[in-house]
Amino acid sequence: MSSSTAMSLLATSGARLPPLPTIRDLVRLYKLRAIKQLSQNFLMDERLTNKIVRAAGNIQNNYVLEVGPGPGGITRSIIKMCPRHLVVVEKDRRFLPTLELLSEASKDFLRMDIVRGDILEYHMAAAFPECSNMDWQDKRAPVHIIGNLPFAISTRLLVNWLREMSLQTGAWSYGRSSLTLTFQKEVAERIVAPILAENRCRLSVMNQIWSRAELKFLIPGKAFVPKPDVDVGVIHIIPLKKPLTIVHFDIVEKVVRHIFSMRQKYCRRGVANLYPPDVREELTELTFRMADVDPLARSFQLSTEECLRIAEAYDLLTKSKPDIRHYNYRAPKEKVVVEAI
């Protein structure tokens, strides 16, 4: 059967893989004991892996990058939905044989590339050379990032990806690519936390500036092997057609981090630390006046727009003052060397 006939048959029915050992059997067969340092918690339940993949939307004939496929549970569910091209990036080489098994079993209807490497260093812009770039304002790009993320790096990855999304680089050079990812339940809830929610934080505001994030469903910790101490939330993220600001990500990130740095105190306290001591009072007051924000509000009481107005005021005030802009109140103080005369 030609690959295009296979594709069209599968497109209507969902791909049926040839009989394969279960993930549980493969883990046992290859003695794949989970490594804690790599945050390995495997999903063996096919209903759950299918549900995660369905949360990504229609991926048929699209391009999918899976982060940390491990033994391949989610990978199987992805393959069954017939994407055009699947790239999996896995740091642990012990999983290569099980992934190669999947690649071989699906080779008639799917291109699957297995990358042994660190997702933190992987250049997503090069993953799908045959995928043409879409205009940001057009329909969404046919590129989806899916992953049961390693907890240890999940927040870092998300912030890196939001940065690339804001700059329209990496996976976002193709257009508005989507993310469907697992997080520790508390982190997932923070990502979508609205104004006044007790758990609102930097991640909530940063996400809401550049994307629409939805908490799709929760998975109890006991569904994973080994069982983590926490439950898990599945988040689906779509970039906004029109982000809420044009200020550079790094400036916004710095300001929002400061706003939320002292949660129990007035937000003025965190913002003040953006400025060196000699101009602190004056510039902090000016920032809040320009932004038209109450300096005595607590950070969780600020709307995304108010946080942005503070960032925009800071951007304006420091644009032509690099010494103030690069000030870092956490940097070790310079020692004053008194030369002996």
Among 56, 59, 62, 68, binds ligand SAM (CB under 6 A): 68
> Are 205 and 304 within 8 A, CB to CB?
yes
Binding ligand SAM (rule: CB under 6 A), the pick from 80, 85, 91, 202 is 91
Nearer to ligand SAM, 231 or 305 (CB): 231
- Stretch (H or E) spanning 8: helix 3-13
| Cβ atoms < 10 Å from Cβ of 206 | 24
- To the nearest whole angstrom, how small is the minimum distance from the Cβ of residue 10 to ligand SAM? 22
Which residue is closest to ligand SAM by CB?
68
> Which residues, 6 or more positions from 199, have their beta carbon under 8 angstroms from its beta carbon?
186, 189, 190, 193
- Which residues are CB-contacts of 310 (< 8 A; sequence separation ≥ 6)? 255, 259, 271, 287, 288, 291, 293, 302
Nearest approach, Cβ of residue 61 and ligand SAM (Å): 23
Of 152-171, binders to ligand SAM (CB under 6 A) are: 153
Q: Beginning with the edge strand found earlier in the chain, give each strand of the sheet holding 111-116 in spatial order.
A: 111-116, 85-90, 63-67, 143-147, 178-184, 232-239, 211-219
73 lies in the site for ligand SAM, by CB under 6 A: yes
Closest Cα partner for 259 from 330, 325, 309, 211?
A: 309
Q: Please identify which residue in 142, 150, 175, 239 interacts with ligand SAM, judged by CB under 6 A.
A: 150
> Cβ of residue 147: shortest distance to ligand SAM, in angstroms?
7
Interface map 306-335 toward ligand SAM (x if CB under 6 A): ------------------------------
- Can you tell me which of 40, 173, 299, 304 binds ligand SAM, judged by CB under 6 A? 40
User: Among residues 134, 140, 229, 220, which one has the least CA distance to residue 180?
Assistant: 140
Q: Which of 53, 89, 209, 255 binds ligand SAM (CB under 6 A)?
A: 89
CB of residue 37 to ligand SAM, shortest distance in Å: 9
CA separation for the pair 332, 180 (Å, rounded): 39
Residue whose CB is less far from ligand SAM, 150 or 239: 150
Min dist CB 234 to ligand SAM, Å, is: 11
**Distance (Å, whole) CA 118 – CA 145:** 15
- Residue 244, SS3 per DSSP: coil
CB 287 within 8 A of CB 267: no
Considering only residues 94-123, where is the footprint of ligand SAM by CB under 6 A?
A: 118-120
Q: Which residues contact ligand SAM by CB under 6 A?
A: 38-43, 68-70, 73-74, 89-92, 118-120, 148, 150, 153
